[in-house]
Structures are given as structure tokens and as C-alpha cells.
Structure 1
Amino acid sequence: MQRPAPAPAGQAGFAALGVPAALVAVLAERGVTEPFPIQTATLPDSLAGRDVLGRGRTGSGKTIAFALPLVAALAASRTRREAGRPRALVLLPTRELANQVAATVTPLASAVGLRVTTVFGGVGQNPQVQALASGVDVLIACPGRLEDLIRQGHCRLDRVEVTVLDEADHMADLGFLPGVKRLLDATPAGTQRLLFSATLDNGIDVLVKRYLRQPVTHSVDPAVAPVATMEHHVLEVAADAKAGVVRELASGLGRTILFTRTKHSAKKLAKQLTSAGVPAVDLHGNLSQNARERNLTAFSDGSVRVLVATDIAARGIHVDDINLVVHVDPPTEHKAYLHRSGRTARAGAEGTVVTVATPDQRGDVRTLARQAGIAPQWSGVSAGHALLGDLTGPRAPHVDPADAPIPTAPPQPQRSAKPRTAAVQQRGGAAGQQARSGGGSRRRGGRGSGRPAGRG
């Protein structure tokens, strides 16, 4: 069932959409007073207990769109919390998203006496087992580790009243759909299910038909930030000049994300930039959970301005005010280009996207641009070219490698049933409605044998 989108956000507050007063107050305390389009569209139906299919890109405000009805439903339910049997389940593809969603859900849940915990791989499972044994209302999980814990007898899903699938298309990209289906099969039939996805391809339509009952569909956002809000450039460089050009692109005062194709390249480039006086941190699947959170925190709080990442960061990180996205290695297909590029130009802001291409990549990049629906400005450059300064703006001061900031580990989650909380703050845009902590789902014990290996 397709319904037209309600009045634009800003014409009605959360209370007018039916959100309970206690939850409206929590949002207001954090500066979130006006709903975004995905929230305005979906909340009347989801709060009424209907199954909802919400189509919207990362950063559109989906977390609050499903957190409010989930918490409201559990608060109104008369069921009791039981050890190892959560009452609501939120499935996500990565550790980063799991922690970010927990940071948004936890203050809302705490306001009505509910417990929240996260479950994902890459960390020891004992704190997660202890939290489940203490009783959890809302379980926010990545599929691999959750299936492991269920097989070990630490968790059952037979008391789940509300299930949320977030970033469903990304879970499909990572090969998680078989596990997602097994988990959904373990939840009671006839309970409310909310599915949010940027696209409906890659088998997402199968999930919708199999698990959602007469869902109300709301499509209020394109799959990624509109390309029209981005300025696209292709810089063609000789292979031996590429390193110098990339270093200059990373040297501006604003936040910059550099995307590489491999984990090794990301680690190597971050070290090279730091040694050259441009402090940078890396993000890829070979890092431990603690290192990922440490590096993300350094990038989010501004102590380091440059993040070098593989595609693992293209959809799992929500950091405002990213001035420049650089495809150091052009992606292999246009969807990756769009999702990488979508780290800038968020919440209506503008942004600049640069693809660095060597002459032998010219044909592939032209094809990529055509498929992505963009017409980039194409320039031949070398180190010192005036265009590089135009793209980066004022240069940041050179930092001696010995004086480069060393990212410190963020506080670790409490080893109780309640994870640490974080503000749910608007920060001027939809991306700010989702908190900026780290996390994810790559396995160190997080995915069972036979499932896809970690990516990025």
C-alpha cells in the first residue's frame, strides 16, 4: 500500500504525529523538535502498529523514525522483561551502525524504563552474554554474532514484539540475507516489522513479501545524497604524480575522507600522510573494534581531519561537515561511487567529490560517471596545480609526525545490561539526529562458519 507523503517536515511537531509526551520531551532536551520527512511520513503508521517499508538514504533520519514507535510499543505493552528473551530486535549490517543506533535509542528507552544492549562481532561476547542474561528490552544486533549467541543458547527471539531491519540493502550487499531470514523466522509471526532501505533491489523485495504484512510504503528520499548538491571533479594524473596530488587534496582545513580499494592501501596511505605532516587515521576491516572506535572518535571530534577508508565507511559512518570526499582509487561500480560520495552533501549541505584517475583508468571512470548520472569537471593536474588549492581551500598547518595527535580509545561500554548513552542531538541536520559513535559487524567470532567473510 503506497501513501502520499504528509505535509513537509516542520509543519507538525512530533507530538502532533502521535509520539508519546515522554519521548517528545527526550527529543526536545536534545534539540530535536521538528521531524524530518521520513519521520513525518512513517510515524503515524508505525505508531499505529502497522508494518512499514521506509525507503530513504543514510542520514535521512531513519533511526528516530523507527526508534520512536519501537520504544512506544514496548512502553505500552504489558509483557515483562525476561532473561535472554528480548522484546524488540533491531538488525543492522555493521558495528558502526549498531553503536550509532544504540546511542539514539538508549535515552528514549531509558525515559520509559527500558533496557538496551548491542550485540556484534569483533569484541568479546561475555559482556553481551551477561547483558542478555540480565534481561533486555531492545536488542540492537548484527546478524552474525546474534546467530552465534542463539546457537549457544544465550538468546531466544520468541518474545520479540517489534522487529526493525535497517540498511537492509547494505545487509544484502554483505551477504547477510540468509542469516536475516533465519533470524526473522525465529521471531513470532504477526508481530510488527519495520524495514528501512535505500533501495529495494538485491532481494529486499523478497524480505518485504515474506515478512511484512500489508506494509505501508513511504519513499521520501533518494537512495543517496542528490548528486546535484555535490560538485564532481575528475583529476587525471600521471601514476608517478598521484601521491603528491593526493597529499595536497588531504591538506585542507576541513574534514576529508579518502577512499581506497584495499585495506592495505588505506593503512599505508594514512601512515604516509601522517609522516608527511598531514595527520590521518585509517578505517578498514583489519582493525580491531577498539582501534575502529578510537579512529572514528578522532575523526568525529576533529582531533584528526583526514580519514582514509575502504568501502566499509561508505554507508556506516554519519559525521557532519565533511568538506571533501576523494576517490583515491576509483570504485568499480556506480553504486559504490554514490554511497562513498554521500558522506558529503548531507542534510541539504553542499560538498565536493574528487576522483583521482590515471590515464589508463580514463575509460572506466567515464563509464562510471555516466552510470552514476554525473557530468564531472575533468582536469589534468599535477602537484602544485592551482585547482588543488581551490578544491581544498586554505591549507592546514604542517604537523611534525612526532607531534601528531595520537587518537585515544573512547570509553568502553559498561559491562551491565545498560550500554553507555549518548546524546540524540540534531546538530543541524538529519545526520545529526543519529549519534556519531563507532561500531560494526565484522567478525572475530561475530559470523558463523560458512557465512561471507568480512569486507573492507
Structure 2
Amino acid sequence: MAARRPRQTTSPDSLTFADLGVPDALNRLLAAVGVDRPFPIQAATLPDALAGRDVLGRGRTGSGKTYAFVLAVLTRLAATATPRRAGRPRALILVPTRELATQIDSVMAPLAQALSLRTMTIFGGVGARPQIAGLRAGVDVLVACPGRLADHVEAGNAHLDAVEITVLDEADHMADLGFLPTVRRLLEQTPRGGQRLLFSATLDAGVDVLVRRFLTDPVVHSVDSTLSPVAAMAHHVLHVHADDRFAVLVELTAAPGRTVVFTRTKRGAKTLARRLVAAGVAAVELHGNLAQTARTRNLRAFSDGEVHTLVATDIAARGIHVDDVALVVHADPPVEHKAYLHRSGRTARAGAAGTVVTLMTDGQVPEVRELTRKAGITATTTRLRPGDALLRELAPGERTLVPQPVPQPAGPRHEAQPAHGSRGRRGGKPAPTTSTRSAPARSGAAAFSARARPGARRGGR
């Protein structure tokens, strides 16, 4: 059945989670971490989700969708108190990436524990045996990437016939990554009468197919335009000479505060992180060619403040939340305007301010103009050279450069397959903080991909 027409919803300032029906045990934990007032997407969707309705929630990245479905799932499971059964989760949350699965579980686990509920994650790039053991022990909420979960279902380790609530998070991103056939097969194995919650930044054709096939008379909540940037986000385009790009990037990333730098390709992220470290910037990389242990360690180092610059492909553009990211730099302008908005959404989250910088060379002027037009943003464009005063305005503070030698590899490193392509593949050996297998660092635009090859956007996950 077709979804109802989206409607705009707002949350009164006085509304609390208790007003929405969230139990006291969860309210106390939320208050302890400073979450005491619901965001618009939470205020809009929670009453319907708690009432058992199918919900379609649409909102840009950083709008608070995780708590919206986590609180609904845990509250409803606690109310029914159905006993856990081996290999048969009671709720299923499908997500596109390993990092997002881990992040959702880290938010949910302490809340679940307060209600005596058990959670676990399933994704590729790590050993299958601990996942099999966890499934056999019984789990209430399973957070999973589609590929590895399909492997466990096929092997008989997991059965989806007891799923009471299914959540699809970042559904449009799953469509972009080609997961929809697997997602459909998984959803077809959940009970037809189960509740389904779908959260997405956009409602593209692939997502609409899921809505029409699997959601029953869904209540639709759209808290903002899919093209609207965060109001507190300042957008700048720096028009630079190709040979100046790396020097400008060093000036931006050497400032205090967290910075996320995006490249189009995995090789570009690897090479750029390596060059920044050699120049004295505390940086780590995040891309699909890293073993899962290295991905987890690098993201934790960035989140904990051990390093303040994360160089990433679009694997970090969706769903990953790190507090207080002050600056996002598009070292390579993305191919699509949606990618620009999702990348940029790593800053100015939860009402905070943030700055977004796009580096643009002469040959990239037409594509960047078209990119910003489609994204619906107004950017300030400035032609500059290294040392320009604007760089200190965009990334204020004392620059700190402590050059480090790039470590040499001790031996062959096994790289994990992407989560959706893994079939029981174990993760590789721990990787160094910055990659050691790329070609020697090069100067200028060649140091990080100026233009992606056809198909590189998907492969850059």
C-alpha cells in the first residue's frame, strides 16, 4: 500500500521523552548523558512507533534518527517480555556499514541492559564463530549488515521468523550500495504482521519499492527537506592551484579541533593520510580496504581525541557520528550532490555550528558549481594560496605539526572484504594507523585523486 503524503512536524520545546511514552528506566539513562529533549524526528515518530504503527521517517543526516528507532524498539520489546530463543532475534535493525552497526549498538546496549534485553552486531570482516555463539545464546535486538546476516540465515545460524520489529536505517544508502536484493530476501523471511520502521534521508525509487512492498499503511514523518543544509553550517569553496592543494590542506588540518577530510577513492585516502602524518598532522584513515580491526581502531582513535584528523572515503559520509567535528574538507569534490550533503553532515550536528570547505582547482570549476547548485547551498568562493589569512579563520587556533616517520610493513596484510561481500571471511591482522602499502607519496593533485575513475565511487566504500 502506498505511503501517506509526508507532512512537516515540529517538537514543542517543553516536550520530554516521558511525554512521548519512553519508560522511566530509559529516561534516567538518557538524562545522564545529556539527552533530555527529543529532536523533531524523535518527537514526530516515537508516538506512532510506540503504538505499533509502521513508520517511514525521513530526515537529513544528523537529525537524531538513531534514538528515534532505538527507543521505540526497546520500549516495545520490554513491554511484551517474550523470552529469548536461540538463533531467533526479536528485533532486527539492518544497516549499510559495519561502523554504523557498531555505533548503533554502542548507543543501544546500555539502554537495553537497563531493560534486561540483549543486543549484538553482525557484519563481515570479522570471524563468524563469535557471531554464531552469540546467536545461539539468544538475542533480543540484532543489528546487522545484510550480507553477513544473509550468510548466517543461509547456514541456519539465524532465523527471522520471530522478528517482531524490523528497522531499516539509511535505506537510501543501502540502495546506493546495491544491498536491496539481499534486504528484500531478508525482509521476506520476517513475519508479515511484524512492525516495520524505515528511516532514510531520501525516498529514491529503490527505497520506494521497499516501502510499497513491506510497510503497511505507514505513517510518514518528514522533518526537513532532503536538500536543506544545516542552518549553522558555513560552506566555503577554496579555489587553489593544483600544486597548492596539499599545503592548504595541511594548514587546515594542523589546527586544533576535529576535522574529517574526504577523498573519492580508497587509494586517495590511504596516500593522503600517509602524507599528512609525514607532514606532522595527527591523522588516521578510514576506507573499505582496511581490515576491520584497523577500521575500528582508527575510528576509536579519532573519537577519543588521540588524533584530530580523519581521512576517509564516503564510507564515513553516512551514519557515523563523532561529537564536535568542527571542519569537513572535501579534498576531492564528490560526484553527487547527495554525497556532498551527507559528507558535510559530519559537522554542525545536533544544533552545533560547523564549517565545510571544498578544495577546487581550475579544471573542477564547472563540476563544483553544478554540485553546489544541486545541493541547494550557497558557498563563499575564494581564490587563495597557502598562508592566506582566511585559512586561519576557517580553522582557527595554533597550528601544531609533529612530523612522524611512516612505518614500514612487517609483512603481508590481509584486507577484509566489504561487509556485504563477506562470506565467513575473517578479518586480517591489525593494520598500522596509516597505510604502508600505497605508492610513494606524490606532490600536487596526484597525491589524492583529482577525478575518480568510472565506478570508483562505489568501490571507495
TM-score over 0.5 for the alignment? Answer: yes
Distance (Å, rounded) in 2 between the aligned partners of 1:239 and 1:32? 44
Q: Which whole-Å CA distance do the structure 1 matches of 2:161 and 2:380 have between them?
A: 55
8 Å contact kept, 1:122–1:288: yes
The answer (yes or no) to whether the contact 2:25–2:115 under 8 Å persists in 1 is yes
Instruction: From 75, 81, 86, give the equivalent of 2:89.
Output: 86
Q: CA RMSD in A?
A: 2.2
1:217 aligns with 2:220: yes
Partner in structure 1 of residue 109 of structure 2? 106
Match of 1:392 among 391, 395, 400: 395
Point out where structure 2 has 5 or more consecutive residues left out of the alignment: 408-417, 426-456
1:156-235 alignment, distance < 5 Å: 156-223=159-226, 226-235=229-238
Distance in 2 (CA, whole Å) between partners of 1:5 and 1:358 is: 39
Q: How do residues 56-75 of structure 1 correspond to structure 2 at under 5 angstroms?
A: 56-75=59-78
Give aligned-pair identity as a percent.
Answer: 60
Query: Residues 381-438 of structure 1: CA distance to partner in whole angstroms, max 9, x if unpaired?
Result: 222222222222123322141699xxxxxxxxxxxxxxxxxxxxxxxxxxxxxxxxxx
1:35 Cα shift? 1.4
Is 1:236–1:378's contact at 8 Å kept on the other side of the alignment? yes
2:143 to 140, 144, 155: 140
Q: CA deviation at 1:46?
A: 0.8
Q: Is the 8 A contact 1:38 1:220 kept in 2?
A: yes
Name the SS for the 1:16 alignment partner. Answer: helix
Deviation at 1:247, TM superposition (A): 1.5
The alpha-carbon distance between structure 1 residues 157 and 63, as it changes in their structure 2 partners (threshold 3 A), is: same
The amino acid that maps onto 1:141 is A
Q: Which residue does the alignment assign to 1:312?
A: 315
Post-superposition CA distance 1:324-356 (Å, at most 9, x none):
111111111211111111111112222211111
3-state DSSP class of the match of 1:19?
coil
Checking the alignment, whether the CA contact within 8 Å between 1:88 and 1:161 is kept in structure 2 is yes
Change (3 A) 1:3 1:344: closer
Residue matched to 2:375 = 372
For residues 303 and 73 of structure 1, do their structure 2 counterparts lie closer, same or farther at Cα, with a shift above 3 Å needed? Answer: same
Per-residue deviation at 1:9? 4.4
In the TM superposition, what is the alpha-carbon distance from 1:196 to its structure 2 partner? Answer: 0.8
Aligned residues: 417
Q: Check whether the contact 1:60–1:221 (CA below 8 A) recurs between aligned residues.
A: no
Contact 2:150 2:182 (C-alpha < 8 Å) held by counterparts = yes
Using a 3 Å threshold, how does the CA distance of structure 1 residues 6 and 258 change in structure 2: closer, same or farther? Answer: closer
**How far, CA to CA, are the matches of 2:138 and 2:181 in structure 1?**
27
Judging changes above 3 Å, is the alpha-carbon distance between structure 1 residues 25 and 323 closer, same or farther for their aligned structure 2 residues?
A: closer
Matched AA of 1:372: A
TM-score by length of 1: 0.87
Q: CA 1:5 to 1:366, structure 2 compared with 1: closer, same or farther past 3 Å?
A: closer
Is there any run of 5+ residues in structure 1 with no aligned partner, and where? 405-439
Cα distance between partner residues in 2 of 1:230 and 1:5: 22
Q: Secondary structure at the match of 1:101?
A: helix
Q: Which one is further off, 366-375 or 280-289?
A: 366-375
TM-score, normalised on structure 2? 0.86
Residues 65 and 273 of structure 1, relative CA distance in 2, 3 Å threshold? same
User: Residue 173 and residue 140 in structure 1: after superposition, are their counterparts in 2 closer, same or farther (change >3 A)?
Assistant: same
Distance 1:226 1:3 in 2: 19
CA separation of 1:168 and 1:333: change in aligned 2, threshold 3 A = same
Which aligned pairs between 1:43-58 and structure 2 lie closer than 5 A?
A: 43-58=46-61
Give SS of 2:419's match. coil
Q: Describe the shift of the 1:87–1:364 C-alpha distance in structure 2 as closer, same or farther (beyond 3 A).
A: same
What is the CA–CA distance in structure 2 between the aligned matches of 1:3 and 1:308, rounded to whole Å? 36
1:414 paired residue number: none
Per the TM alignment, residue 6 of structure 1 is displaced from its structure 2 partner at its CA by 6.1
Pair 1:243 & 2:208 matched: no
Q: Structure 1 residues 59, 87: CA separation in 2 closer, same or farther (over 3 Å shift)?
A: same
CA 163–252 in structure 1, closer or farther in 2 if over 3 Å, else same? same
Question: Structure 1 pair 454/149, CA: closer, same or farther in 2 (3 Å)?
Answer: farther
* Offset of residue 222 of structure 1: 3.7
Shift of residue 36, structure 1, vs aligned partner: 1.4
CA distance in 1, matches of 2:64, 2:219: 18
Question: Cα deviations across residues 159-186 of structure 1 (Å, max 9, x unaligned)?
Answer: 1111111111111111111111111000
SS at match of 2:275: helix
Note closer, same or farther for the CA distance 1:181–1:130 as it changes in structure 2 (3 Å cut): same
Q: Higher relative contact order by CA 8 Å / sep ≥ 6: 1 or 2?
A: 1
Distance apart, 1:227 and its partner CA: 4.9
Code of the residue aligned with 2:276 in structure 1: it is L
Matched residue, 2:384: 381
